[in-house]
């Protein structure tokens, strides 16, 4: 089974395979299209990250996407990765139902709590959200997520480079050949087509997307309007607010927010 090119006209494609006789799941994608949209988004809103931080976020986006593709369709995931050194937070989120992936870096006003912490939140349809948190070492997202799998998911997963922006995740399933699994490296993963029998399970499409808008900022700002209207707007008639998920800037006017507040305050 060929695990070749994975780019599509509508975003990019992630393919998952089952490795027969090894009882392992393989997820693979080429992330060039996602990274192009990520940089276009930065250009649109006029912000840029330091190159070393940028690389960390891109790897986290890839790690999350492959994780999401290996999970049920009705799940949405959000990962917050807190680093003590360098002191920053990475936030990435993916929604299988909408096929969207997005993320952001926070380097200002980050609290140093003296440890590296990975927090994973998952929401399933018609169910309450669930959070898992683990401490980790290192700064590479792939290695951090592997630690999360080992400590929280109770099954191992590993990430590999198939190409410069082409990555593979292999996760153990019940009855996995763990000797084979732990012996994998980049070279062996590139040869899986010839060395193993792969069965295509799914092809999913993902794209960079958040869905944020001016209107979605209203529920966040309305309580502040009620308690400190002058502090929120000062002498201005509008404010600019940054989306915490993707960094997009939205202009919220006093008039629009007051109208929302009055409408939602009606008994």
Q: What is the rounded end-to-end Cα distance, in angstroms, of the chain?
A: 60
pLDDT higher than 50, residue 9: no
Per-residue pLDDT, averaged over 34-47, amounts to 89
- 200-222: per-residue pLDDT in tens? 999 999 999 887 777 777 777 77
Q: What is the largest CA-CA distance in the chain?
A: 69
User: Could you tell me the residue ranges of all domains in the chain?
Assistant: 12-208, 214-265
22 and 176 in contact (C-beta within 8 Å)? Answer: yes
d(C-alpha 40, C-alpha 46), whole Å: 10
d(C-alpha 16, C-alpha 2), whole Å: 11
195 and 180 in contact (C-beta within 8 Å)? Answer: no
Residue 258, SS3? helix
Nearest to 87 by CA among 65, 66, 64, 117: 117
Fold of the domain spanning 12-208: Hsp33 domain (3.55.30)
Asked which of 50-64, 120-134, 164-178, 232-246 is least confident by mean pLDDT, the reply is: 232-246
Query: Could you tell me which residue, 176 or 6, shows the higher pLDDT?
Result: 176
- 71-89: per-residue pLDDT in tens? 999 999 999 999 999 999 9
pLDDT higher than 50, residue 2: no
pTM of the predicted structure, to 2 decimals? 0.85
Cβ burial, residue 206 (10 Å; 0-12/13-18/19+): buried
Residue-by-residue DSSP string for 142-177: HHHHHHHIIIIISS-EEEEEEETTEEEEEEE-TT--
Nearest to 167 by CA among 35, 25, 66: 66
Instruction: Pick 214-265's CATH classification: 3.40.630.40, 2.40.110.10, 3.90.1280.10, 3.40.190.170.
Output: 3.90.1280.10
Same CATH topology for 12-208 and 214-265: the answer is no
d(C-alpha 242, C-alpha 108), whole Å: 13
């Amino acid at each position: 089974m060929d695990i070749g090119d994975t780019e599509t006209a509508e975003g990019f494609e992630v393919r998952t395979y089952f490795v027969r006789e090894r009882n392992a799941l393989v997820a693979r994608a080429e992330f060039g299209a996602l990274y192009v949209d990520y940089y276009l988004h930065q250009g649109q809103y006029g912000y840029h990250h330091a190159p070393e931080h940028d690389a960390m976020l891109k790897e986290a986006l890839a790690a999350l996407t492959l994780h999401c593709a290996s999970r049920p369709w009705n799940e949405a995931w959000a990962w917050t990765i807190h680093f003590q050194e360098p002191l920053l937070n990475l936030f990435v989120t993916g929604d299988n139902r909408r096929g969207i992936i997005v993320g952001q870096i926070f380097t200002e006003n980050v609290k140093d709590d003296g440890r590296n912490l990975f927090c994973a939140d998952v929401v399933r349809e018609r169910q309450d959200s669930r959070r898992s948190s683990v401490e980790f070492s290192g700064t590479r997202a792939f290695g951090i997520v592997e630690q999360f799998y080992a400590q929280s998911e109770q099954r191992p997963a590993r990430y590999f480079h198939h190409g410069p922006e082409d990555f593979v995740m292999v996760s153990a399933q019940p009855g996995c050949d763990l000797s084979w699994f732990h012996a994998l490296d980049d070279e062996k993963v590139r040869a899986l087509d010839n060395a193993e029998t792969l069965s295509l399970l799914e092809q999913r499409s993902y794209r960079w997307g958040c869905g944020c808008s001016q209107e979605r900022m209203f529920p966040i700002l309305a309580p502040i309007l009620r308690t400190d209207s002058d502090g929120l707007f000062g002498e201005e008639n509008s404010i600019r607010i940054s989306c915490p998920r993707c960094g997009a800037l939205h202009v919220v006017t006093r008039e629009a927010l007051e109208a929302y507040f009055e409408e939602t305050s009606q008994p």
